[in-house]
Amino acid sequence: MKLILTHEVSNLGAAGDVVEVKDGYGRNYLLPRGLATPWTKGAQRQIDQMRAARKAREIASVEDARALRDALAERPVDITQRAGESGRLFGAVSSKDVAAAVKEQLGKTIDRRTVQFIEPIKSVGNYRCEVKLHPEVQAQVQLRVKAAK
């Protein structure tokens, strides 16, 4: 089955890529979740628009990405969430929370879709997450999750 990805899918491709997948994977996973659309001849214009949007979001050069990686590695990012007595969070820390905290504390903008957690963050403590800044550059961000008072 030939599909056009509308979102980034790990180990498969980025938005705008045309991929060939098994019928069951496309029909039962990618299409119902809105991660892909069927490929047609008229869809080439849609592919070009997605690539242009991705290019606008992407950091322009490797040097800029490395500078941002160094800024993210300098100090940990503090995230405050509501937690219970035992330190367990009501919910979990999301990629949106990380992107907002980085923008607020460091003044740097990262795309929330590029944040990947090594493990789910569901309690107070110190954690790490990865941010894919450029196809060649990944950053490790240290997170300090604190309970809201």
Greater confidence, 55 or 19? 19
Tens digits of residue pLDDT in 45-70: 877 787 777 676 665 677 788 888 88
Listed in sequence order, the residues at least 6 apart from 54 whose beta carbon sits closer than 8 Å to its beta carbon are: 14, 15, 16
Decide if pLDDT at 29 tops 70. yes
Distances (CA, A) of 1 to 23, 38, 46, 114: 5, 8, 18, 27
Alpha helices (H) along 8-141 = 23-25, 44-57, 62-74, 95-106
- Two tokens, residue 120: 């789910």
Ordered strands of the 2-5 beta sheet: 18-20, 2-5, 36-38
Q: What is the pLDDT of residue 17?
A: 85
Whether the full predicted model's pTM is greater than 0.75, yes or no, is: no
What type of residue is 48?
A: D
Greater confidence, 145 or 136? 145
Q: What is the pLDDT of residue 59?
A: 59
Tens digits of residue pLDDT in 56-107: 666 567 778 888 888 888 889 999 999 999 999 998 999 999 999 999 998 8
CB 130 within 8 A of CB 116: yes
- Token pair 């403590």 is found at 125
Q: What is the pLDDT of residue 58?
A: 62
